[in-house]
């Protein structure tokens, strides 16, 4: 038994119930659509079969279940409600399942006031976005007194909400989930939805690109060429070696580096294409990283300065601590020795006879 506001489920009787709403018209519904007031009632969700039959009696396996790793990032959302009016989604066979693109640099953050809203649990029927927007505005503006700029549909949750203040977004994210009747409403940052994952670029390598057109030896084009499999860290544009370009890059794995890259550029209907040969010169696994930080050593009983373990040029002190317990005095003695040597040198220079103004001619 799940309790939901009546507005989060369609009407079960009357003329409105007989209308079939397409994905396009679902998002175009205005606030004038006849929904009931936000009252809570207990009702049973319609039973959903564990598998759906497709084709000739074939039952596809679930995308995720008990004992299986979740693959939420590769689950498709219905694109119908989001496509422009009058356009259609084409079904093209043999499209690749995934292609990797690595950004050359990170952009400036401009959406720190934007959040993704998810409602849990969801009813067994499709939600109407005007209803979701009305409830979110009621919770945030009327009950919580928070100013929001806009609410838009989102395929990663139920809605995008843009707050007026960034700190309000962060507060609702950190305090999630928020109870509303018998459901909970959660807020997450706009770039941390169900498609957000971690990737490790743990291989750093030097690549030699042969045949890269010299007019394109610029940062933006290097990022474009490296984008499908890695990130360019630096590159060498030595004019004395026009045949090859050396690029230091970070990649997920060495096997993803292709033998050839087909680089294309087009202005009109016809374009130009160049095939670039790629060779791996050397690589380093950088996944290990440095060791953990050392614990802070305990101070001396007299709270004096810590003892030194190295001489000035990184030469480690080999004698036991007890032999040079007063290392400050030892350093002071070293300073005195250096001062005496400098004074001796100055005295030698003072005792040296001065140069004659004129030297007698030889012979």
Burial (CB < 10 A; 0-12, 13-18, 19+), residue 31, is exposed
- Residue ranges of domains in the chain, CATH in brackets: 1-46+109-197 (3.30.70.330), 203-285 (3.30.70)
CA distance 173 to 167: 10
Average pLDDT on 287-315 reads: 76
CA distance 220 to 312: 45
Average pLDDT on 141-148 reads: 94
Alpha helices in the chain (DSSP H): 23-28, 129-137, 166-174, 219-226, 327-351
Query: By the 8 A CB rule, do 228 and 100 touch?
Result: yes
Residues 6+ apart with CB under 8 A from 113: 149, 162, 163, 164, 165, 166, 168, 169
pLDDT for 308:
73
Question: Scanning the structure block, which residue is given the tokens 């007194």?
Answer: 145
79: phi then psi, degrees, rounded to nearest 5: -80, -10
CA distance 60 to 63: 9
pLDDT of 303 higher than 90: no
pLDDT for 188:
96
Count other C-beta atoms under 10 Å from residue 191's C-beta.
13
Question: Can you give the pTM of this predicted structure?
Answer: 0.63
Q: Is 248 helix (H, G, I), strand (E, B) or coil?
A: strand
pLDDT bin (cut points 50, 70, 90) of residue 268 is confident
Nearest to 225 by CA among 235, 287, 202, 282: 235
Query: By the 8 A CB rule, do 114 and 187 touch?
Result: no
pLDDT bin (cut points 50, 70, 90) of residue 120 is very high
**Token pair for 34:** 């006849």
Count other C-beta atoms under 10 Å from residue 242's C-beta.
11
Which strand (E) or helix (H) includes residue 274? strand 271-285
Top-confidence residue, 110 or 98: 110
Q: Please count the residues of the chain.
A: 363
Query: By the 8 A CB rule, do 39 and 6 touch?
Result: yes
pLDDT bin (cut points 50, 70, 90) of residue 267 is confident
**Token pair for 82:** 């989001």
Count other C-beta atoms under 10 Å from residue 148's C-beta.
19
Query: By the 8 A CB rule, do 24 and 85 touch?
Result: yes
Query: By the 8 A CB rule, do 153 and 106 touch?
Result: no
Query: By the 8 A CB rule, do 197 and 73 touch?
Result: yes
**Token pair for 133:** 């927007």
- Report the percent of the chain where pLDDT is more than 70: 66
Query: By the 8 A CB rule, do 184 and 117 touch?
Result: no
Query: By the 8 A CB rule, do 193 and 14 touch?
Result: no
Question: Scanning the structure block, which residue is given the tokens 């309000």?
Answer: 168
CA 34 vs. chain centroid, Å, equals 42
Average pLDDT on 344-362 reads: 62
pLDDT tens by residue, 10-58: 444 444 433 333 334 333 333 333 333 333 333 333 333 333 333 334 4
> Which range, of 106-115, 116-125, 219-228, averages the lowest pLDDT?
116-125
Which residues are bridge partners to 265 per DSSP? Answer: 272
Residues 6+ apart with CB under 8 A from 166: 112, 113
Burial (CB < 10 A; 0-12, 13-18, 19+), residue 317, is middle
pLDDT for 218:
94
pLDDT tens by residue, 62-84: 333 444 445 678 888 888 888 88
């Amino acid at each position: 038994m799940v309790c939901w506001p009546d507005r989060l489920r369609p009407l079960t009787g009357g003329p409105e119930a007989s209308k079939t709403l397409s994905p396009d018209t679902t998002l175009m519904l205005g606030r004038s659509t006849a929904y009931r007031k936000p009252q809570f009632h207990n009702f049973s969700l319609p039973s959903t079969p564990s598998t759906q039959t497709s084709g000739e009696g074939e039952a596809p396996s679930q995308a995720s279940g008990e004992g299986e790793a979740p693959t939420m990032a590769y689950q498709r959302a219905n694109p119908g409600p989001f496509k422009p009016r009058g356009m259609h989604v084409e079904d093209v066979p043999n499209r690749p399942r995934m292609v990797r693109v690595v950004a050359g640099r990170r952009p400036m953050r401009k959406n720190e006031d934007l959040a993704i809203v998810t409602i849990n649990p969801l009813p067994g029927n499709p939600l109407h976005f005007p209803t979701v927007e009305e409830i979110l505005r009621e919770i945030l503006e009327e009950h919580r007194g928070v100013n929001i700029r806009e609410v838009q549909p989102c395929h990663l949750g139920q809605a995008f909400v843009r707050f007026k203040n960034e700190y309000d977004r962060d507060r609702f994210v950190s305090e999630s989930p928020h109870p509303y009747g018998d459901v909970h409403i959660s807020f997450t940052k706009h770039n941390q939805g169900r498609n957000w994952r971690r990737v490790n670029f743990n291989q750093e390598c030097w690549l030699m690109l042969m045949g890269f057109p010299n007019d394109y030896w610029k940062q933006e084009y290097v990022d474009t060429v490296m984008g499908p499999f890695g990130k360019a860290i630096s590159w060498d544009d030595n004019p004395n070696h026009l045949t090859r370009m050396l690029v230091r890059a970070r990649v997920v794995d060495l096997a993803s580096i292709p033998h050839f890259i087909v680089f294309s550029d087009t202005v009109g209907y016809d374009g130009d294409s160049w095939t670039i040969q790629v060779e791996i010169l050397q690589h380093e696994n950088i996944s290990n990283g440095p060791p953990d930080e050392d614990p802070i050593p305990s101070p001396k009983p007299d709270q004096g300065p810590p003892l030194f373990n190295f001489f000035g040029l990184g030469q480690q002190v080999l004698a036991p601590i007890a032999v040079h317990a007063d290392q400050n005095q030892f350093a002071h003695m070293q300073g005195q020795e250096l001062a005496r040597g400098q004074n001796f040198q100055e005295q030698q220079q003072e005792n040296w006879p001065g140069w004659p103004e004129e030297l007698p001619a030889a012979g």
